[in-house]
Structure formats: C-alpha cells, structure tokens
Amino acid sequence: MILVVSDNEGNDVSINWNRIKKVGEIILLGDSSITTTTASAQQGLRCPSCNFDNNPDSKFCESCGTKI
C-alpha cells in the first residue's frame, strides 16, 4: 500500500506506507481567495468552535458536538 501526495509543483509523489510513522490530523492548505460563501457551499457547515467542516444538514458539529 502506498500514499500518493502532490508536491508544490503538482507532481505526484509516492510514499511507502511502512515509512509513515503516524496518521493524525490532516491540514489542508488552499487558496485564500475563495470566498466564505463559496467555501461553505462546497464544504458544508464550518463549526464556530473547532473549525470542522460538517455536512450541510448537520445540527451539531460532527467533531466536537457544538451546536451549529
């Protein structure tokens, strides 16, 4: 099994699974020029407490339980 990631130039880089020591939080870096409305529509409802992107029909945060 391998993990495929993209480098800064957009090239795919393969990493052997046995080289991965820890799987934890994933940080997504994106274009900061996307408007909040567009980002919310694409990603669902963002939690005001933990910033988790929830499903659009969520009443409570799927990560921390805060009411949305």
Phi-psi region of 42 (alpha: psi -120 to 50; beta: other; left: phi over 0): alpha
Q: What is the pLDDT of residues 20-62, one digit of tens each?
A: 776 666 655 555 554 444 444 445 688 899 988 888 888 888 8
Burial status of residue 23 (CB atoms within 10 A of its CB: 0-12, 13-18, 19 or more): exposed
The mean per-residue pLDDT over the stretch 7-29 comes to: 74
Amino acid of residue 35? T
Query: Helix (H) and strand (E) counts for the chain?
Result: 1, 4
Q: What is the pTM of this model?
A: 0.38
- What is the SS3 assignment for 56? coil
pLDDT of residue 58: 87
DSSP H/E element including 2 = strand 2-6
